[in-house]
Amino acid sequence: MQSDANINIERTSEMVYADGHCHLVPEWFEYEEVVKLTRKAVASGVKYIINSAIESKYYDFGLKTKDLPGVYLSVGLDTSKITEEGVQELKKFHLENIDNAVAIGEIGLDFHWVKEDEKRKEQEEFFRELIGFSIELDKPLVIHSRAAEEKAIDILKEMGADEVLMHCFGGTEEQAKEISRLSWYITVPTSAVYRKNFQKTLKAVALDSLMFETDSPFHSLEKGEKNDPSSIPILCRKAAKMLEVEEKDLAYITTKNVKDFYRL
């Protein structure tokens, strides 16, 4: 049972944070490590953790983690390795676990790792298929769009997707502003404490479209370290200084955005 499902995030003296996207799966974390890290995160004020399983071999592990305090499950596919078999496995999982996953994703396009035109076109076909599937299921979509931001945004608009989170968004400031106008969301990762491109995104996106994420184990606060959800408060503190807003207000807004998008 989700023991923290009814956490109150009204404006109080206690700051509550959310990690809008991370990967707490066996490729990087054993289960006991996940238990310890989520306890550490909750103790530091990170009461909402969205764990993304993007390989079918980790789907059952993801189901296990969602019973930990504060953890919710999002299930998608590794975009750079997507296959028809993977798409069908993803659909099967969501149909059989309609109440166990809060979103479909991450899914999308990756033109950084995928260079061949034929494979990019195949990605686009799968992307369209899964957008349609998400609309049928009435599930929010978490989007990976590395080096394919413009194409991904165009396809999402064309398909009529309206519950969209552009995860770890690396596009332009103009695209970030467009995403805000569309009432979609953007996650800025913890590496924004030193990476200028994410700092530009942070300053461009409207606050009511902004979330924070760790993308654990990636995008750590310092290069070369293994990331985990407990780093979110540090990002929030530094982001508040960059944006010249109160940290407690930024924590409240970004956490509310996570709750609203994932329907928590």
pTM for the whole structure: 0.94
pLDDT at residue number 7: 41
Asked if residue 7 is part of any domain, the answer here is no
Domain that holds residue 193: 17-262
Token readout for 207 is: 């606050």
Cα separation of 232 and 45, whole Å?
9
Tell me the average confidence (pLDDT) per consecutive run of 10 residues in the chain, 264 residues long.
39 82 97 98 98 97 97 96 96 97 97 94 97 98 97 98 97 97 98 96 97 98 94 98 97 98 98
Q: Provide the 3-class DSSP secondary structure of residue 228.
A: coil
Residues 212, 190: contact at Cβ < 8 Å? yes
The domain that holds 177 is classified in CATH as 3.20.20.140
Q: Tokens 């504060």 appear where? A: 70
Residues 168, 219: contact at Cβ < 8 Å? yes
Number of domains in the chain: 1
Cis peptide upstream of residue 14 (ω within 30 degrees of 0):
no
Q: Provide the 3-class DSSP secondary structure of residue 22.
A: strand
Asked if residue 10 is part of any domain, the answer here is no
String of DSSP letters for 29-81: --HHHHHHHHHHHHHTTEEEEEEEE-SGGGHHHHHHHTTSTTEEEEE---GGG
